[in-house]
Structure 1
Amino acid sequence: MKLLKMLLAATLVCCSFVASAAPDPATPLPLDPQIRSGKLANGLTYYIQQNRRPEKRVELRLVVKAGSVLEDEDQLGLAHFTEHMAFNGSTHFKRHELISWLQSVGVKFGADLNAYTSFDETVYMLPIPVDRKENLDKGLLVLEDWAQGVTFNDADIESERGIVLEELRLGKGATDRMNKVLLPKIFNGSLYARRLPIGKAEILKSFKPDAIRRFYKDWYRPDLMAVIVVGDIDPKEAERLVASHFSKLVNPANPRPRTYPTIPERKESEAIVVTDREAPSNLVTIRYPFTERSESKTIGEYRDHMVELLSAAMLSQRIAELSQQSNPPFLQGFSSMAKAVHDYQAFVSSAVVGKAGALPAIRAVVAEGERARQLGFSAAELERAKKNMMRFIENLYNERDKTESSAYVGEFTRHFLDGESMPGIENEYSYYKELLPGITLEEVNAQVRSAIPVGQKKLVIFMGNDKSGTVVPQATQMLATVEEAEKATMSAHEEKTLAANLMAQPPKAGRIVKETSDKLLGTTELLLSNGVKVVLKPTDFKNDQVLMTSTRFGGQSLVEEGDIVNARYATAILSSMGVGGYTPLELQKILAGRSVSSALAIGGVAEGYGGGSSSGDVETMLQLVYLQMTQPRRDQALFDVFIDKQQEQARNAQARPEAVLTDTVRTTMFGNHPRVSLTPRPEELDGIRLDRVMALQKERLSSAYGMTFFLVGSFDLAKIKPLIATYIGGLPAAKIATDYKDRHVRAVRGVVKKEVRRGREQKSQVSIAFAGEANFSVVEQMRLRALVEIMQIKATEALREQRGLVYTANISGGLALHPYANYSINIGLPTAPENVDKAIEATFAEIRKLQEKGPEEADLAKVKENWTSNYRKALRENGWWLVNLKLALVDKIDPRLLLRQNEMIASLTVADVQAAAKRYFDFNNYVQVVMHPAESKPEARPDAKPEGQADAGKLAD
């Protein structure tokens, strides 16, 4: 039930409906009639659905109920290793042939083609273009091979060891070190704590090939598998192909039983303190006992879950309010019933610790749950939650014929793995209209009383950075604080009365003084009486979506160097304080039931507003823009909260090795230029002044002079034009500077190499940056992009597949026109310390091949095919049009070129890419920074110090 999962992470809440006769609670939830599903004779489950969004594309999945918990002691890490081997040779595809064929039809490795392994399942993801009919058949052949045709050649296994070990190395760090202490406590001795999917290095290095073949034979079997086919297909033909490919799969003669580990009941409450000098944040968590989890099977159970979602949304809102008050007890917090592993859930409360410390954070997050448990919620809170919930389901219903295929495959996967119901959006919309109005405050309050644990055995955790200035709590203190908060008598939550609407009355309207149309692009341009331009593109890509952006030059480039920190943070600070008389959380309450957002930005060389809304909420979105420009809110308390939060994050960020590497690269490239953004320092934030931030808003964002707005989406031109005239035409437009200043931030010339030593793990990171001035054009941008993507293909082949030096090579780059025409190419190579020189040498060798011989025709064809496929999809996306219409204006490009992308892609040649390689990979001009680990090798030592009922564990620095 995709809706319910998404609602847990959404801000909930819309109009009430008159309830019709309530359905029988015992009625089983149906299966969406659009889904063609069944089981083959061998037990394999399949799901098929026709969906033409996007056109000529199909999403394929192979889902296997087999993950790391099924590994034997000599197989730790081999469930995940099996996933890797699926791409390294099978019955119908020799090693490298599979990826090469997929790339040739436009499927990008990593971005499109992918897989994952978890505790309980392995899922293979394959999107396939079906502009050629045979692609679907061959795509299902790929899944068939993954299911029971992986060859597991000894040589291929040996070759893949280095890649998997590099993936393991990549995941090492503070979080990994702390989890090794925490997971046995969290899972209370369950097998889950001993079966992390990545496995153990010693086994990955030494396992015998027969061990991985045994895992594959035992668990990759049709009775544990599902095949999912969603997209632009004929369902009957897809069902025929599924039967043709997968009926031949066989189950073992004596199958091993597929069971799920149990999590033992916690016998005693305990607390644990785990610190690491590289920890990214300070966090307190209270984990209550695991309980059995079940999915809704009847309409009554569906309704019960709606009640749970309402209470969870209201509790989340209250906890968010705590983080916005003066001297907040924590920076961010949450409390909810959270899904854990298969068939288990647990109530968890957590908070990011701020300057108040760990104990006040624990006290506040627990006490807020107690307040809800003891006194319940208010009628106003419930009404807002209902509005948001109803608006959410309405949006899904409105977009039911425009939903992307990728949204469905996750739902089918969860149905197979966990039994999640799939009644279909039409049924769910009907249930919400019928059931939601009848849910009472008494029901919600009763639910929250039963859901929030009190007096139960619990695990209290502090994990953080003891070098950041935070006072590390004692285990006994944490337990005592929780128990004290659970026993406290709470006062009622205070509700502030708010207006029903953002604006009492609209502003004085402007006029449309000129209107022109471009029929080819489908755009209409308006010139308003205040001089502001608006470009409108109505579309039918979505039924209920309108996107907006605006821009003009200026931004941070216009402030002097002594003011740059204020300008850099102005966007976030202004957003954190709300507009008019309302804080951001108060705005959420006023806007309950509406799908709307708006944001402002003061960027490096430009500034403007952006947002989005449903078709019916366009006016509200434009009201937000008007208020942000004319009534920015000054709130000293929220400003102080923002600065405290940023300083806490800055203190922790300084400890991260990655931050040191990034800063070293940037200072090496650009010197100590004050306009170069580095990892924030606490002392830097001390210099920000609220008065100056408000002055910057007045200087740069209180006038619409010189701005161009763009709106793309499902709107009617005749209906939206009066709103544009009123709210955008009514904006003040006093004359201000509308060009940027080039502050001459330039990359260093020549070859510069540096090394830094940071981090406790034995891993290195190579960063190589090529940058300089360039001639900008659309065609040249395309040539450089092609070069970067081909280089990504070759680096993956050479460094990963052939030599096992990296898990992934990260290559990015492009051209920019402002503040001056320039190019940049960035190469990131995470690798072992002993392999640094080899990785650099191999990368440079691939660059020289491109310069000397040019790319292979086949590689260029792969890139072009992927671009063509993506372009076909992008032409039906509001976001793509919004971004590219704006870029055409900013970069002074004819927007009609947006319709000629296929023509430009087709004209790209091997010679073009070779010339780009010679032009942009200049071996006399690059910056190379290598981060090596610190000299000392990490040792984990849990110091168990029983204190009453608590155990305190600490990870050594």
Structure 2
Amino acid sequence: MPFSSRALRFVLLLPLLAQPLAAQRVAPAAPARATAAAPVAIDRTPWLYKGSDITPDPAWQFGTLPNGVRLAVRRNGVPPGQVAIRVRVDAGSLFEKDSERGFAHFIEHLTFRGSQFVPDGEAKRIWQRMGTTFGSDTNASTTPTQTVYKLDLPGATEANVGESLKILSGMIAAPAIIPAAVNAERPVVLAERREQPGPQVRIGDLIRGTFFAGQPLADRSPIGTVETLTAGTADTIRAFHDRWYRPERTTVIISGDMDPEVAMRLVAQHFSGWKGIGTAPAEPDFGKPDPSKPVSATLVEPGVPVLVAMSVLRPWHFNNDTVIFNQKRLVDTLATRLISRRLEQRARAGGSFLQAGVDLDDVSRSANVTSVNVVPVGDDWEAALRDVRAVIADAMASPPSQAEVDREYADYDTAMRTGVETARVEAGAKQADDMAQALDIRETTTSPQTSYEILKDARAKGMFTPETLLASTRRIFQGDATRVVANLHAADPAAPAKLAAALKADVSGLAGKRRAQAAVTFDKLPALGRPATVTAREKIAQLEMEQVTFSNGVRLLMYPNASESGRVYVRVRFGGGWNAVPADRTTPAWSGELALVASGIGSLNQGDLDQLTAGRRLGLDFDMGDDALSLGAITSPADYPDELRLIAAKLQAPAWDPAPVARAKAVALAGYSGLEASPDGVLSRDLEGLLRADDPRWKTPSREDVNKLTPAEFKRFWAPRLASGPIEVSIFGEVKPDDAIAAVARTLGTLPPRKGATGPAAPVRFPAHNARPVIRTHSGPDTQAAAVIAWPTGSGVTAIAESRRLDVLAQVFSDRLFERLRNEAGASYSPSVASQWPLGLTGGGRLVAIGQLSPDKVDFFFRLSREIAADLAARPVGEDELRRVLVPMGQQFLRASTGNLFWLRQLSGATFDPRLYDATRSYPSDLVAVTPAILQETARKYLRPDTDWTMAVLPRDKGSATAPSSAR
């Protein structure tokens, strides 16, 4: 809904966003195709629903151009002004010959370099001038079965949508697959391949190779091989393009704030002239599961937790997407959810495995697969697999109770009903992505209401009973082949045979007695005290929010905004966050996210709470921020009062179940193996602590620290933190103000007044400038390294405008680093630069550049980063370069500010620090005020050569060699 503050934001950003389209256009690199002068006849047959009796979603309009290009278009105003475009090509890595592995993905890269209507590298800049952010608004993805080109165009007009479709049509039909482009992009593609996490890639390759042995999917990873990518030429890559990139294999999907008829006309204008080259190829055969192939396989990857993956495979075949087909699949879905819940209950109780779950999926049109994934406690995979199979065998032996069935149905019903209630605010980008996914798996889409009706009709038919779920369970665990793969931490030549034997071992009767969950109501929660009274209530100028103070000191920030129908965001902040954690020793702070919520409330454990919230939109998400802890959830207008009650009970009477603490320790210890297996793992382990001068609050705890944590110590650390610090409640969404105030009064308002954090917060320090980089090593491939360079900045609300100038500076830096490190040198696939300015800490701000690259390019990264920093300080950026950063940032703000979550994040803590209100209001004016001169001044102030800090992560066998130079 329109309101004054939004109008103010738009007015302030108009000078930034206004620019004639003519200035965005670039002369074509090649002669343009002639587009049809006369209107193109579009066949309006709803092709998606051929063979289906599902009620079509009336919001989607369909069409087919005379050349075979298909269209799916709908109007959607979320966020306002944005048009989401997807161009899907029905071709992926499964369409490649042996010598073409990786070509489908290579073509995705080449299309963004240059094509029929734009010269090399210019498409990114054109779309930046239109307000897009590269990587999030403009991107593409290649899977085994499709390639999808993505554009989320903000501030869309008929002119810039038409220009974008013209560019996309040239990218798809006529990319510049020429030797110069191929040779320039090849290092980038190889860098992307090199930067993939080695252990995970090897496990994924083994799983595909074992599960799909005898089928193309077994060795058709989209990234390809070094050999084929190196051997690829413009001619061979173009041959793949010309064979599979054809009009009849292409669908243009548009969901956005635009008249669908206009969108269809523009698609027809720019795509109807495209003609395929040569004869259309036959559809490839993806094969069937081969029962003659080996049953089991293992590998040793110490950098990944021990795990077991099991699958039951059946041939995939196309099914008409009918109502009854979907209803039968819903029965199967509930059957897998029920088994997964039993497995989770067993894991919580301290079983032999940390995690286990069952899923059912059609995989890349190659097989229908029931998959089981198990993470053991420690290294004993045999016990974990035995216990998981025992639970599955028990589920196949006898039916579940009706109460179990009803429990799973209630949660599924809630999820689908939520989809109906929030359909009006579903983003156009999600709808476009969902349509592309539906096409990939050969299914239809329909409205959330129709989907919900299909679910309810299945229940009315009596399809969800103990007997039907038993039959489903037995069916989904039968197939043409059963396979199992395990990752171990120590070599065992007998492991494959042991795995194969484990699949046949009799596990009947080992599951033990099924756990019957007792009914739980809100009456089981601890009783709350007397409601508070309101002592102050005031409106927040220009923001249409209210701040309310209660007699017990609780403060409420309320935004009764119904623009997101069916959603209410609840967040309760309390305590002191990281500021209140000791800075002179290690603590159990790491354990909160893993165990605090799961420890229960009063006499109720996590299983009881799951039962309590069944069929409701209730939850408890815990977060530890810089200056506060928080509990919250996204709930509904009907459920938010009980969400508040749940949080109040957690703060008043937290339980201290020891089982979640034991599980948290096991989870943390299982993760250590990956922290040294790759540059990324080392960075995740060490970088935050190093960038804060080894402050123990941000250092990863040692194995010894994790092992020594006891339930008693866990309680000693967390109990006072749950009980201290002022409480701020934020309620944003579809609520009535008086009702929301009353709900807070009788929940959080019943808690006794709380003491503030004791003592001043410890300052956060940046590490001293180093002449040579800090060196860490990893145990992964010797082709992988990482480099980090950082400069100290600032923190706090007072200088918030400075933080926004640094955000702009970081984006300019990032664009330059991307162009030179990736596009020109091919040294890194995804270098990044970011500014972090903590509002709630006394220090800790920094601007950080990170690149993953080969070890021999580490020095080059440092040299190039310093060259960019020096140039930004020495001379102003160009007007066009600045606009290509400011316009996307302004559009990101406009889009984000239409949602409640944006305001919730910006204003958390504002009831106790009113400066945050002004800081939020000032964002547009701060952004508009950035000029080349101001940006240069900011660079001079912060990007100083005498303050930077560097770090390199090298392969272990190279880490002892001479460290990369940090000298200029």
Once the two structures are overlaid, the 10-residue window that deviates more, 126-135 or 566-575, is 566-575
Correspondent of 1:816 among 838, 841, 847: 838
Q: Counterpart amino acid of 2:252?
A: V
Shift in Å, 1:711: 1.2
- C-alpha offsets along residues 393-419 of structure 1, whole Å, 9 cap, x if unaligned? 211111122111012112211332222
Once the two structures are overlaid, the 10-residue window that deviates more, 680-689 or 312-321, is 680-689
Which residue does 2:34 correspond to in 1? none
Which residue does 1:230 correspond to in 2? 255
Q: How many residues get paired?
A: 905
Secondary structure at 1:526 match in 2: strand
- Tell me whether 1:67 sits opposite 2:82 in the alignment: no
Which residue does 1:168 correspond to in 2? 193
Which residue does 1:148 correspond to in 2? 173
Secondary structure at 1:410 match in 2: helix
Q: Counterpart amino acid of 1:419?
A: R
Which residue does 2:202 correspond to in 1? 177
Once the two structures are overlaid, the 10-residue window that deviates more, 848-857 or 482-491, is 482-491
Q: Counterpart amino acid of 1:906?
A: V
Specify whether residues 50 and 168 from structure 1 end up closer, same or farther in structure 2 by C-alpha distance, changes over 3 A only.
same
Which residue does 1:653 correspond to in 2? 675
Secondary structure at 2:378 match in 1: coil
Shift in Å, 1:508: 2.3
Once the two structures are overlaid, the 10-residue window that deviates more, 620-629 or 753-762, is 753-762
- Tell me whether 1:729 sits opposite 2:749 in the alignment: yes
Which residue does 1:424 correspond to in 2? 447
Contact 2:94–2:144 (CA under 8 A) maintained in structure 1: yes
Specify whether residues 595 and 803 from structure 1 end up closer, same or farther in structure 2 by C-alpha distance, changes over 3 A only.
same
Secondary structure at 1:331 match in 2: strand
Which residue does 1:870 correspond to in 2? 892
Secondary structure at 2:883 match in 1: helix
Structure 2: distance between partners of 1:319 and 1:284? 14
- C-alpha offsets along residues 563-587 of structure 1, whole Å, 9 cap, x if unaligned? 6422342453322212122222321
Correspondent of 1:858 among 858, 873, 880: 880
Contact 2:520–2:611 (CA under 8 A) maintained in structure 1: no
Structure 1: distance between partners of 2:339 and 2:308? 18
Which residue does 1:408 correspond to in 2? 431
Structure 2: distance between partners of 1:410 and 1:667? 38
Structure 1: distance between partners of 2:540 and 2:410? 39
Which residue does 1:6 correspond to in 2? none
Contact 2:571–2:730 (CA under 8 A) maintained in structure 1: yes
- Tell me whether 1:282 sits opposite 2:268 in the alignment: no
Structure 1: distance between partners of 2:489 and 2:912? 43
Contact 2:764–2:843 (CA under 8 A) maintained in structure 1: no
Trace 1:907-922 onto structure 2 (pairs within 5 A). 907-922=929-944
Which residue does 2:24 correspond to in 1? none
- Tell me whether 1:128 sits opposite 2:128 in the alignment: no
- C-alpha offsets along residues 374-398 of structure 1, whole Å, 9 cap, x if unaligned? 1121111111112112211211111
Secondary structure at 1:288 match in 2: strand
Trace 1:33-48 onto structure 2 (pairs within 5 A). 33-48=58-73
Which residue does 2:391 correspond to in 1? 368
Contact 2:556–2:911 (CA under 8 A) maintained in structure 1: no
Specify whether residues 152 and 281 from structure 1 end up closer, same or farther in structure 2 by C-alpha distance, changes over 3 A only.
same
Provide the TM-score with structure 1 as the length reference.
0.90
Structure 2: distance between partners of 1:268 and 1:804? 40
Specify whether residues 513 and 762 from structure 1 end up closer, same or farther in structure 2 by C-alpha distance, changes over 3 A only.
same
Correspondent of 2:349 among 320, 325, 332: 325
- Tell me whether 1:693 sits opposite 2:718 in the alignment: no
Structure 2: distance between partners of 1:454 and 1:574? 40
Structure 1: distance between partners of 2:378 and 2:302? 18
Once the two structures are overlaid, the 10-residue window that deviates more, 349-358 or 734-743, is 734-743
Q: Counterpart amino acid of 2:940?
A: K
- C-alpha offsets along residues 260-315 of structure 1, whole Å, 9 cap, x if unaligned? 3213421266221211232x211111222233254562222222122112212211
- Tell me whether 1:392 sits opposite 2:415 in the alignment: yes
Shift in Å, 1:837: 2.1
Structure 2: distance between partners of 1:750 and 1:521? 46
Trace 1:684-833 onto structure 2 (pairs within 5 A). 684-703=705-724, 706-737=726-757, 740-743=760-763, 745-758=765-778, 759-771=780-792, 776-833=798-855
Unaligned ranges ≥5, structure 1: 1-25, 938-957
Structure 2: distance between partners of 1:545 and 1:611? 10
Correspondent of 1:310 among 316, 334, 338: 334
Structure 2: distance between partners of 1:655 and 1:502? 49
Which residue does 2:486 correspond to in 1? 462
Structure 2: distance between partners of 1:154 and 1:655? 36
Trace 1:14-33 onto structure 2 (pairs within 5 A). 28-33=53-58
Secondary structure at 2:222 match in 1: coil
Secondary structure at 1:497 match in 2: coil
Contact 1:172–1:761 (CA under 8 A) maintained in structure 2: no
Structure 2: distance between partners of 1:701 and 1:843? 44
Contact 2:362–2:441 (CA under 8 A) maintained in structure 1: no
Once the two structures are overlaid, the 10-residue window that deviates more, 517-526 or 176-185, is 176-185
- C-alpha offsets along residues 181-206 of structure 1, whole Å, 9 cap, x if unaligned? 44322211222223221112122223
Specify whether residues 36 and 671 from structure 1 end up closer, same or farther in structure 2 by C-alpha distance, changes over 3 A only.
closer
Secondary structure at 2:80 match in 1: coil
Trace 1:76-155 onto structure 2 (pairs within 5 A). 76-155=101-180
- C-alpha offsets along residues 65-110 of structure 1, whole Å, 9 cap, x if unaligned? 1112222333221111100010111111111211111011111111
Which residue does 1:21 correspond to in 2? none
Secondary structure at 1:114 match in 2: strand
Structure 1: distance between partners of 2:422 and 2:382? 46
Contact 2:686–2:699 (CA under 8 A) maintained in structure 1: no
Which residue does 1:903 correspond to in 2? 925
How high is the sequence identity, in percent, across the aligned residues? Answer: 21
Specify whether residues 556 and 221 from structure 1 end up closer, same or farther in structure 2 by C-alpha distance, changes over 3 A only.
closer
Structure 1: distance between partners of 2:357 and 2:628? 36
Shift in Å, 1:844: 1.7
Which residue does 1:23 correspond to in 2? none
Q: Counterpart amino acid of 1:425?
A: P
Structure 2: distance between partners of 1:472 and 1:711? 58
Q: Counterpart amino acid of 2:79?
A: P
Shift in Å, 1:523: 1.0
Contact 2:331–2:463 (CA under 8 A) maintained in structure 1: yes
- Tell me whether 1:590 sits opposite 2:615 in the alignment: no
Shift in Å, 1:486: 5.2
Superposition CA RMSD, Å: 2.5
Secondary structure at 2:449 match in 1: helix
- C-alpha offsets along residues 659-710 of structure 1, whole Å, 9 cap, x if unaligned? 43455545655554433412x322111232322332333322125x522221
Structure 2: distance between partners of 1:269 and 1:367? 23
Which residue does 1:342 correspond to in 2? 365
Specify whether residues 379 and 792 from structure 1 end up closer, same or farther in structure 2 by C-alpha distance, changes over 3 A only.
same
Specify whether residues 177 and 436 from structure 1 end up closer, same or farther in structure 2 by C-alpha distance, changes over 3 A only.
same
Structure 1: distance between partners of 2:807 and 2:413? 43
Contact 1:599–1:610 (CA under 8 A) maintained in structure 2: yes
Specify whether residues 120 and 514 from structure 1 end up closer, same or farther in structure 2 by C-alpha distance, changes over 3 A only.
same
Q: Counterpart amino acid of 1:378?
A: S
Once the two structures are overlaid, the 10-residue window that deviates more, 50-59 or 810-819, is 810-819
Contact 1:87–1:96 (CA under 8 A) maintained in structure 2: yes
Q: Counterpart amino acid of 1:383?
A: D
Structure 2: distance between partners of 1:440 and 1:176? 39
Q: Counterpart amino acid of 2:158?
A: K
Specify whether residues 892 and 485 from structure 1 end up closer, same or farther in structure 2 by C-alpha distance, changes over 3 A only.
farther
